[in-house]
């Protein structure tokens, strides 16, 4: 095997289980979760884009988050389902690098969008009189564009860092997708720089936004406590309850993955835990927002009533 040409290397994604009798169950479960994720997030996008009452910064960011969640899940699940269907665990080096790029891109985008949404709720509750001036369409567009640019540059850097590594043999990754921290240790060249870049990016692009979210919500809680009426407190908190639920779900599942990996030292256990933030969280996000949001429900109801009415017209 030539170490100078990594494109000749075959990569084996071992998946979640080696048991043949479990493959049909895994295929059906992941297909169902994937369809729910795509359908639920598309409904959010449809509701926001079709209702003029939802053309606000909060729903603009939510629409972008739903799009990213669809793309994030689509990076891993279709390939996994194809491997199970064809009973093949082999993937190419090029596909693995491409998958790493888009996984890093969309995971960091998720973090940035959740941070921007926290800032939006901070301005809405702590500076309500200046909300429309501060959160103008130009700023909202710039925040989303900046999130995409930073995420794309970081994903490109980390992918190029993997490309510089040499691999001496075919790789077996005990996962259902090519995860960067599973692939780097398998290299036969020095990985010190790769590890430093990966950990620094995780600290800066994961920890930094999380601190911003914590700061925003500390100010939000402080402002809510100053409201005299209980009804006013409830109304103020309800505007950010869904977002806070999604933030806790996203960060707690990622934290759970790394804690379980450190506790069990099992790659297969870590792969199973990764299902939470790569599949379950994007699937639950639209349900969290729609179940707690009367505006979304009202918009969807109006849309479907309109479609049914138009369909019945001669």
pLDDT in tens, 205-217: 888 999 999 999 9
Of the pLDDT bands very low, low, confident and very high (cuts 50, 70, 90), residue 7 is low
Q: Is residue 103, in this structure, part of any structural domain at all?
A: yes
Q: What are phi and psi of 291, to 5 degrees?
A: -70, -30
Q: Is residue 303, in this structure, part of any structural domain at all?
A: yes
Burial (CB < 10 A; 0-12, 13-18, 19+), residue 273, is buried
Could you tell me the residue range of the domain that residue 93 belongs to?
6-312
List the structure tokens of 206: 């994961």
What is the reported pLDDT for 54?
Answer: 84
Q: What angle do CA 52, 58, 64 make, to 5 degrees?
A: 90
Neighbours of 304 (CB within 10 A): 12
Q: How many domains does the chain have?
A: 1
What is the reported pLDDT for 260?
Answer: 58
Q: Is residue 40, in this structure, part of any structural domain at all?
A: yes
For 75-117, the pLDDT digits (tens) are: 999 999 998 888 888 888 899 999 999 999 999 999 999 999 9
- C-alpha to C-alpha distance for 275 and 33, rounded to whole angstroms: 11
CATH number at residue 31: 1.20.1070.10
* Average pLDDT estimate for 232-255: 80
Mention every residue, 6+ apart, whose C-beta is less than 8 A from residue 250.
Answer: 110, 111, 114, 277, 281
* Average pLDDT estimate for 220-239: 82
| Percent of all residues in the chain with a pLDDT value above 70, rounded to a whole number | 90
Q: Is residue 37, in this structure, part of any structural domain at all?
A: yes
Q: Is residue 1, in this structure, part of any structural domain at all?
A: no
| Chain center to CA of 151 | 12
Q: Tokens 């999604």 correspond to what residue?
A: 246
Q: Is residue 278, in this structure, part of any structural domain at all?
A: yes
What is the reported pLDDT for 132?
Answer: 92
């Amino acid at each position: 095997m030539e170490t100078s040409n990594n494109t000749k290397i075959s990569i084996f994604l071992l998946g979640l289980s080696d048991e043949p009798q479990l493959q049909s169950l895994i295929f059906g479960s992941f297909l169902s979760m994937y369809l729910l994720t795509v359908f639920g997030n598309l409904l959010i996008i449809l509701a926001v884009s079709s209702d003029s009452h939802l053309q606000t910064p909060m729903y603009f960011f939510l629409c972008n988050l739903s799009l990213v969640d669809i793309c994030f899940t689509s990076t891993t699940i279709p390939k996994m389902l194809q491997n199970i269907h064809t009973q093949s665990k082999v993937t190419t080096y090029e596909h693995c690098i491409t998958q790493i790029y888009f996984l890093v891109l969309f995971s960091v985008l998720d973090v940035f969008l959740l941070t921007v949404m926290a800032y939006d709720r901070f301005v809405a509750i702590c500076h309500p009189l200046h909300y429309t001036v501060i959160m103008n369409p130009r700023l909202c567009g710039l925040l989303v564009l900046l999130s995409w640019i930073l995420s794309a540059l970081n994903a490109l850097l980390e992918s190029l860092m993997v490309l510089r590594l040499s691999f001496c043999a075919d790789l077996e990754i005990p996962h259902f997708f090519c995860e960067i921290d599973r692939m780097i240790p398998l290299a036969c060249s020095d990985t010190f720089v790769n590890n430093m870049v990966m950990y620094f990016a995780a600290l800066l692009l994961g920890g930094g936004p999380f601190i911003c979210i914590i700061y925003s919500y500390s100010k939000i809680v402080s402002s809510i406590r100053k409201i005299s009426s209980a009804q006013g407190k409830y109304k103020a908190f309800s505007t950010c309850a869904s977002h806070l639920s999604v933030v806790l779900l996203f960060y707690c599942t990622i934290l759970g993955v790394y804690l379980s990996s450190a506790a069990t030292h099992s790659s297969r256990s870590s792969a199973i835990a990764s299902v939470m933030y790569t599949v379950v969280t994007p699937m639950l996000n639209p349900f969290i927002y729609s179940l707690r949001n009367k505006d979304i429900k009202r918009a969807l109801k109006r849309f479907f009533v309109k479609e049914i009415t138009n369909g019945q017209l001669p």
